[in-house]
Amino acid sequence: MEIDRHITRFVEAVGSGAVEIYNEFSLQHELGVYLRDTLDQCKIQFERNVSHFHLAKSDFEKKEIDIAITSTPTGEPLSAIELKYPRNGQVPESMFSFCKDIAFLEQLVTSGFKSAYFLAVADDPLFYSGNGVGIYGLFRGCKRITGSIRKPTGAKDKEVNIKGSYIATSLSMSPDRRYCLVRVSSKS
């Protein structure tokens, strides 16, 4: 099942104006509805707790999956999607949160999900343009997202570990909005 192909088609629908999104909740809702309409034999659920899949909450970076996709006939976990549409600036903090989502998705794949996706949408150019120093480089396409990533602001006392290696390429969704899609799988 190529969820990334469906996500790309959804992004194209947003870019053409066929689907409207304006914040993270609308992104989650509209993508979920789109996936329900296009994926056969799949159940699409929102904010599904990891415990639903018989996983210990304490073992995970986060507790709830933004969009969980399971097989309707078997209940088998197929894919997880984490979404971000930052609207309040705080660029480096948001980018650190992006990394936490990717680490969470890696944990879900290790625990039985076939694949997982991180989708970020941004209409603030600070998320996708400018220098590539520090955490900025991870989401401006010039550095691989891998290894230990330290919280970039404040006490800098937290870090997240990314086991795989990913490139977050910023792509045009519309003239004033960009997105990046990162696929996490057992082969990453």
Tell me the pLDDT band of 71, cut-offs 50, 70 and 90. very high
For residue 44, report the phi and psi dihedrals to the nearest 5 degrees: -110, 120
Write down how long the chain is.
188
Looking at every residue in the chain, the average pLDDT score rounds to: 92
β-partners of residue 44 are 69
Predicted TM-score (pTM) of this structure: 0.94
- pLDDT, residue 154, reads 81
What residue ranges in the chain does DSSP mark as E strands? 42-49, 64-71, 77-84, 115-122, 145-150, 159-166, 171-174, 177-185
Using CA atoms, how far residue 101 sits from 41, 116, 127, 130, in Å, is 26, 10, 16, 23
125-178 residue pLDDT tens = 889 888 888 899 999 877 899 999 999 888 778 999 999 999 998 899 999 999
Residue 187 has pLDDT above 70, yes or no: no
Specify the higher pLDDT residue, 93 or 2: 93
Token pair in block for residue 108? 């879900």
For residue 168, report the phi and psi dihedrals to the nearest 5 degrees: -100, 95
Sequential DSSP letters for 55-75: --GGGSS-SEEEEEEEETTT-
Closest CA to 119 of 163, 67, 77: 67
